[in-house]
Amino acid sequence: MGTATARNGSTATAWRNWAGNVTATPTRVVAPASVGELQEAVRRAAEDGLRVKAVGTGHSFTAAAATDGVLVRPQALAGIRSIDRAAGTVTVAAGTALKDLNRALAAEGLSLTNMGDIMEQTVSGATSTGTHGTGRDSASIAAQIRSLELVTADGELLVCSEKENPEVFAAARVGIGALGIVTAITFAVEPLFFLTAREEPMGFDRVTAEFEEHFAENEHFEFYWFPHTGNCNTKRNNRSQGPAAPPGPVSGWIEDELLSNGLFQAVNTLGRAVPATIPSIARVASRALSARTYTDIPYKVFTSPRRVRFVEMEYALPREAVVGALRELRAMVDRSRLRISFPVEVRTAPADDIALSTASGRDTAYIAVHMYRGTPYQAYFTAAEHIFTAHGGRPHWGKVHTRDAEYFSRVYPRFGEFTALRDRLDPNRVFGNDYLRRVLGA
């Protein structure tokens, strides 16, 4: 990776995201050890005419965190600040990785209500881009926020909740880094509970015909469709009394490491080299997974390791539109010359009240499409995006898409509320970058 000489004489190394599809060379990099140091870094950047962006672990596929100015690494701002058992909340510094938060909460007998399927991200990076899991009644990680602290463009620290600066709170929970730098988040938590996961292969026609039934009957339902096949794998997570009965070490290794990571890596590498093999590989891979049931604490059921690197696009659709859109996607793949080695993921979320949440104001279902890293993805993603946007889809803020502010102003009723707040909090675009200029406007 390249380097750049920073203004203060130190050398700033180029930044690269997890997937390797976004790079940036900042003028300088700072790693504040306190909120005060972060405030000073923001003030100094503004004085120097430099833009500021905080980066987490780089799990976004967009350039939301890229900057040619000051890159802030918040990982030193980490750890649980306090737990309020009476209120059912935990306050955590923004640079804390979700995996560290989950483990620390479990040790205290507590848990988040819902979470996504990986936990490598920082809490601020995950919430700011709208990271979510799947849930009939429980929503995204950002929807579980009860208050947050935000360093604004003038270096001030703003505390936001439903009672304090409520108009900022309504937007900043999913702020895409446009309103300031989040320094701490207070999440709602609950006593640790057990989930029983039931994974079961199911045909595409059956799972789509019964989608609403599966959604209604399960607290957390999702499924994966394997392109070039009529095969899906379903997963239903529901609360149980326990006790813990995790997958056995052998079966767990076969499913989670061999099939989902090791073998999956190998077949994707083969598919990238020889695309003609992909349909045959997909048929074999989609039949390799078997039904299994296991019980464990939430983060061990919701999340799993993801070591095969990929590029992803995900769109949030009105829930009633998702089956039709997925059928259109399958028909498009079947009639095309595309060769898709990654399964398509379908999840759900209830409506929430966050201005730029992908589930803002409507019950939602998500379709996520992936391509193995290094494989040309533009043709597939373009065709998929055409289908998703025809249904009023909203792309995940941290995943590949081509939409702009004009489009978002049509699919987000509160888009103008967010941009007006941005104009007030950051009129000089200290936290701006090219991505925000495209999605929010100049």
Q: Which residues contact 125 (CB under 8 A, 6 or more apart)?
A: 54, 55, 56, 57, 59, 60, 65, 398
Q: Across residues 191-203, what is the average pLDDT?
A: 96
Q: What is the pLDDT of residues 85-114, one digit of tens each?
A: 999 999 999 999 999 999 999 999 999 999
Average pLDDT over residues 176-201: 97
Instruction: Give CA–CA dist 147/329, Å, rounded.
Output: 39
User: What confidence tier does 255 reach under pLDDT thresholds 50, 70, 90?
Assistant: low
Backbone angles phi, psi at 110, to 5 degrees: -130, 165
pLDDT at 247: 82
CB atoms near residue 307 (< 10 Å):
10
Q: Are 311 and 60 in contact (CB under 8 A)?
A: no
Residue 2 has a pLDDT of: 41
Tell me what pLDDT residue 232 has: 94
Q: What is the mean pLDDT of residues 166-184?
A: 98
pLDDT confidence bin for 309, thresholds 50/70/90: confident
Beta bridge partners of 394: 316
Q: How far apart are CA 366 and CA 380, in angstroms?
A: 17
| Residue 1, pLDDT above cutoff 70 | no
Amino acid at 376: P
How many angstroms separate the CA atoms of 287 and 411, rounded? 38
The fraction of the chain above a pLDDT of 90, given in percent, is 82
CA neighbours closer than 13 Å in the CB half-sphere of residue 284: 10
3-state secondary structure of 158: strand
Strand pairing partners for 151? 157, 181
pLDDT surpasses 60 at 257? no
Start-end of H helices in 274-403: 278-288, 298-302, 322-335, 378-390
Are the CB atoms for 405 and 418 separated by under 8 Å?
no
pLDDT of the residue at 33: 96
pLDDT at residue 260, as a whole number:
57
- Please answer whether residues 398 and 340 qualify as being in contact, where contact means their C-beta atoms are separated by less than 8 angstroms: no
pLDDT (mean) for 167-185: 98
pTM here? 0.92
pLDDT digits (tens, 9 = 90+) for 231-244: 999 999 999 999 99
DSSP for residue 360: B
* pLDDT band at 10; cut points 50, 70, 90: very low
**Model confidence pLDDT, tens digit, residues 20-43:** 999 999 999 999 999 999 999 999
Pair 13, 23: CB distance under 8 Å = no
Cβ(129)–Cβ(174) below 8 Å: yes
Q: What is the mean pLDDT of residues 237-264?
A: 71
SS3 191: strand
Write down the pLDDT at residue 9.
33
Q: Which residue's structure tokens are 């058992």? A: 85
The whole-angstrom separation of Cα 233 and Cα 222 is 9
Instruction: Estimate the crossing angle of helix 263-273 against helix 278-288, to 10 degrees.
Output: 170
- Residue 373 pLDDT exceeds 90: no
The DSSP bridge pattern shows strands 110-111 and 194-203 to be: unpaired
- Closest C-alpha to 15, from 50, 52, 67, 93: 67
Matching residue, tokens 């996961």: 197
pLDDT at residue 261 is higher than 60: no
* pLDDT in the model for residue 12: 58
Angle made by CA atoms 216, 220, 221, in degrees to the nearest 5: 70
Which phi and psi angles does 71 have, rounded to 5°?
-100, 125
Measured CA to CA, the distance from residue 132 to residue 142 in angstroms comes to: 8
Nearest to 229 by CA among 179, 280, 305: 280
What is the β-pairing status of strands 70-72 and 28-30?
Answer: parallel
